[in-house]
């Protein structure tokens, strides 16, 4: 009897208390009658503060009356809709642990823990079906034990903290559907919508900045029948917990409705969040956050020292006493590093010719430069070399690429040049580019390079031997003027004096026979290389093309010679020139090329003579080639033996790694084809 009475009493209280189609709206909580526990409280201006700045605490705020959540006839969970505005205030970037909208069978959640348990569960009941709890968490701490995706996410929790569905905090914009991130702890109020459709058995959750309105596409959409989870009557409210960081979690307004759409909040009426950095905040800051910060400072200081050491190593340079005078020509490695974006591959202009060349823009002057990285282990000869490049750097000639300066690191030399927008000449001759240089351009380039080389040989205060004249070392400026680059670089590697161990640096096909024999570079060997250059520009071919079928075809100078001897020297010209050329000039260049290729250095013209012939522009001015003794056997590459005992390095990229000993032309040729 008593138990029956009790049941009746229970039934009555519940049917009376559980309001059907409950609906309420709080635009601020000034006159609200919510059931609070833990450290939850109302602020004087009507904010619901679920946690105040206290560590490891929880707070709850529930609508005081139970809500009928299921149709008692058929046991189906009703639809419901709610929206609320929340705000989280903590020290910058640190916060904990979050706010949860919760449906629970009891008012308050007894036994629940703070921190990562969000005031919802404890280790023994977390995840149990007997909880009958549905929650939407705004989680600001990453808890790996519950499979959190990050420290800033929204999740739907059913009976446990392992979310059945979660997403990084954010929203899809209405106009283009693009996802925008939101930071839960940003101190800006944000609005949340939670809607459950009892017929569709679907729950949607949306989040948006305040005043942005409800996004059309929800952040989370979960298809789940809540009928099995919720009880007939439930309590609705909020839970929150703090961890080790002082955080206040606020609700500014809340609207809820069963079996219908919650009434809109009047955002303008909502209370304001407390201003940041009040006197009180500062004292809290001093008491609780400062120790944290000072620990961080120590950690950062240690990291900083490591970073500085790493950075110092990264930008380390090699500077010796003798370099003091070269101050102005010396670049900081760091500047070059920044200019070339860390020597990134996209900045690479080319490689070969002793190293890789990068394009860069100097940060201070905004000027375009090309930086050549030359790897060089030996310090031997470096002093003389640097002295020479610095002195070279002082001269300015319109047909020489300006060497602006250098930088030295361990095992590496960096040379800084003017940037030449049109790249190197060889590209235009062989690589079948769309731009084919016409004869006028080619002739101007030839004359320019000749005058640059004359300057090096005779017009500078000391004689400078270039040592590596060839089309790929001729760069084209914005107006397609030829400029000779890379002067003197070969010298860095050319240290042979003993004929038995001669290292010759240069490029096969441009190396004079006496240079190969003695290892000595002279102005005469430069003239020889210039001869090969003349022929390659006029014929559009490399001096040696190993893949050609016959040897006569393989060696350019042989071919020009035989054209001259047997038919017409003009037949050797680049077929790409078409008929747009001045025959006199082409003939002059080809014949001059043969003259310069003479195996006897004394028979070659000097650069001054070369310039004079070129300025004259007519082949008739040249001495009679027959009288000069230009015969096939007098030309370097027709001279088999001369070619066979070549001791040469021709492979610039491996120049510092190995000295290559070529003993036959076929080996040389095969290596050449690989090297180019």
Ligand X SMILES: *[C@@H]1O[C@H](CO)[C@@H](O)[C@H](O)[C@H]1NC(C)=O
Applying CB under 6 A, the residues found at the interface with ligand X are 20-21, 33, 39, 41, 52-54, 64-65, 71, 73-74, 76, 78, 168, 179, 181, 195-197, 199-200, 202, 204, 216-218, 221, 259-260
Strands (E) across 281-399 are located at 348-352, 355-361, 368-375
Strands (E) across 463-614 are located at 474-476, 482-484
Q: Please, which residue, 271 or 353, has the CB nearer to ligand X?
A: 271
Cβ atoms 192, 185 nearer than 8 A: no
Provide the CA 558 distance to its chain's centre, in angstroms: 50
Q: Please, which residue, 74 or 500, has the CB nearer to ligand X?
A: 74
For the question of residue 468 being annotated catalytic, the response is yes
Provide the CA 638 distance to its chain's centre, in angstroms: 52
Q: Coil, strand, or helix at residue 89?
A: strand
- With vertex at residue 511, the alpha carbon angle to CA 508 and CA 512, rounded to the nearest 5 degrees, is 145
DSSP summary character for residue 490: G
CB of 163 to ligand X, least distance (A): 17
How far is Cα 47 from Cα 64, in angstroms, rounded to an integer? 17
> Which one from 468, 486, 526, 558 is the annotated catalytic residue?
468
Cβ atoms 531, 494 nearer than 8 A: no
314 is in an annotated binding site: no
What is the DSSP pairing of strand 220-223 with strand 202-209?
Answer: antiparallel
CB of 74 to ligand X, least distance (A): 4
Q: Which two tokens stand for residue 419?
A: 């940037």
CB of 180 to ligand X, least distance (A): 6
CB of 160 to ligand X, least distance (A): 23
Prior bond to 97 cis, omega within 30? yes
Q: Please, which residue, 40 or 651, has the CB nearer to ligand X?
A: 40
Beta bridge partners of 476: 482
For the CA atoms of the chain, what is the radius of gyration? 42
- With vertex at residue 594, the alpha carbon angle to CA 420 and CA 392, rounded to the nearest 5 degrees, is 35
Q: Please, which residue, 203 or 469, has the CB nearer to ligand X?
A: 203
DSSP codes of every residue in 534-597? HHHHHHTS-SB-TTSSSHHHHBHHHHHHHHHHHS-GGGGS-GGGTT-S-HHHHHHHHHHHHHHT
Q: Please, which residue, 168 or 617, has the CB nearer to ligand X?
A: 168
CB of 129 to ligand X, least distance (A): 22
What is the DSSP pairing of strand 233-241 with strand 67-68?
Answer: antiparallel
CB of 261 to ligand X, least distance (A): 9
CB of 210 to ligand X, least distance (A): 19
Q: Please, which residue, 47 or 449, has the CB nearer to ligand X?
A: 47
DSSP codes of every residue in 306-332? HHHHHHHHHT-----GGGGGGGGGBPP
Backbone angles phi, psi at 405, to 5 degrees: 170, -165
Cβ atoms 371, 358 nearer than 8 A: yes
Cβ atoms 635, 597 nearer than 8 A: yes
Q: Please, which residue, 41 or 351, has the CB nearer to ligand X?
A: 41
Question: What's the Cα-to-Cα distance from 368 to each of 305, 329, 362, rounded to whole Å?
Answer: 34, 16, 7
Q: H/E element holding 562?
A: helix 556-566
How far is Cα 288 from Cα 292, in angstroms, rounded to an integer? 7
Q: Please, which residue, 25 or 259, has the CB nearer to ligand X?
A: 259
Q: Which two tokens stand for residue 127?
A: 């995840």
CB of 280 to ligand X, least distance (A): 8
Q: Residues forming the annotated binding site?
A: 372
Residues assigned a catalytic role: 468
Q: Residues forming the annotated binding site for ATP?
A: 372
């Amino acid at each position: 009897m008593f138990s029956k009475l009790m049941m009746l009493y229970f039934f009555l209280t519940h049917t009376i208390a559980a309001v059907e189609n409950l609906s309420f709206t709080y635009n601020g909580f000034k006159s609200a009658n919510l059931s609070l526990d833990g450290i939850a409280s109302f602020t004087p201006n009507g904010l619901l503060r679920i946690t105040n700045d206290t560590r490891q605490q929880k707070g709850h705020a529930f609508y005081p009356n139970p809500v009928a959540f299921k149709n008692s006839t058929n046991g189906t969970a009703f639809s419901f809709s709610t929206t609320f505005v929340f705000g989280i205030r903590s020290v910058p970037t640190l916060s904990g642990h979050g706010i949860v909208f919760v449906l629970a069978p009891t008012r308050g959640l007894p036994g629940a823990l703070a921190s990562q348990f969000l005031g919802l569960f404890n280790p023994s009941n977390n995840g149990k079906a007997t909880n009958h709890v549905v929650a939407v968490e705004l989680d600001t701490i990453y808890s790996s034990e519950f499979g959190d995706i990050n420290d800033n996410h929204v999740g739907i929790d059913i009976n446990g903290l392992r979310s059945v569905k979660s997403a990084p905090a954010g929203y899809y914009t209405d106009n283009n559907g693009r996802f925008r991130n939101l930071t839960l702890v940003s101190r800006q109020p944000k609005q949340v919508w939670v809607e459950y459709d009892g017929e569709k058995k679907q729950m949607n959750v949306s989040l948006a900045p305040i005043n942005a309105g409800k996004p059309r596409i929800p952040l989370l959409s979960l298809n789940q029948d809540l009928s099995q989870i919720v009880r007939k009557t439930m309590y609705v409210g909020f839970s929150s917990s703090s961890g080790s960081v002082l955080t206040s979690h606020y609700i500014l307004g809340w609207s809820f409705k069963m079996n219908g759409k919650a009434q809109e909040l009047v955002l303008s009426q909502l209370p304001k969040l407390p201003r940041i950095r009040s006197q009180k905040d500062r004292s809290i800051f001093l008491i609780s956050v400062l120790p944290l910060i000072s620990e961080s400072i120590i950690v950062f200081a240690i990291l900083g020292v490591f970073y500085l050491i790493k950075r110092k190593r990264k930008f380390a340079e090699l500077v010796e006493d003798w370099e003091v005078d070269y101050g102005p020509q010396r670049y900081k490695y760091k500047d070059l590093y920044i200019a070339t974006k860390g020597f990134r591959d996209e900045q690479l202009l080319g490689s070969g010719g002793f190293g890789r060349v990068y394009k860069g823009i100097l940060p201070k002057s905004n000027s375009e430069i090309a930086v050549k990285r030359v790897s060089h282990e030996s310090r031997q000869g470096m002093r003389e070399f640097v002295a020479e490049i610095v002195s070279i750097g002082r001269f300015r000639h319109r047909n020489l690429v300006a060497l602006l300066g250098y930088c030295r690191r361990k095992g590496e030399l960096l040379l800084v040049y003017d940037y030449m927008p049109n790249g190197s000449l060889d590209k235009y001759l062989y690589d079948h580019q769309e731009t084919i240089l016409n004869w006028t351009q080619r002739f101007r380039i030839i004359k320019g390079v000749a005058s640059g080389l004359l300057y090096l040989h005779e017009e500078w205060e000391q004689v400078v031997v270039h040592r590596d004249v060839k089309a790929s070392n001729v760069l084209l400026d914005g107006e397609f003027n030829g400029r000779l680059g890379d002067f003197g670089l070969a010298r860095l590697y050319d240290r042979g004096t003993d004929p038995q161990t001669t290292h010759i640096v240069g490029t096969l096909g441009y190396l004079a026979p006496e240079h190969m024999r003695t290892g000595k570079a002279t102005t005469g060997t430069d003239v020889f290389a210039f001869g090969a250059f003349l022929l390659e520009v006029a014929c559009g071919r490399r001096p040696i093309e190993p893949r050609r079928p016959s040897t006569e075809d393989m060696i350019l100078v042989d071919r020009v010679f035989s054209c001259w001897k047997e038919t017409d020297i003009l037949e050797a010209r680049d077929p790409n020139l078409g008929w747009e050329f001045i025959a006199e000039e082409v003939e002059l260049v080809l014949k001059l090329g043969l003259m310069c290729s003479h195996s006897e250095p004394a028979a070659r013209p000097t650069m001054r003579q070369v310039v004079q012939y070129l300025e004259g522009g007519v082949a008739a001015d040249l001495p009679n080639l027959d009288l000069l003794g230009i015969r096939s056997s007098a030309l370097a590459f027709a001279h088999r033996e001369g070619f066979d005992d070549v001791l040469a390095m021709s492979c610039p990229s491996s120049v510092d790694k190995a000295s290559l000993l070529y003993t036959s032309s076929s080996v040389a040729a095969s290596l050449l084809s690989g090297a180019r």
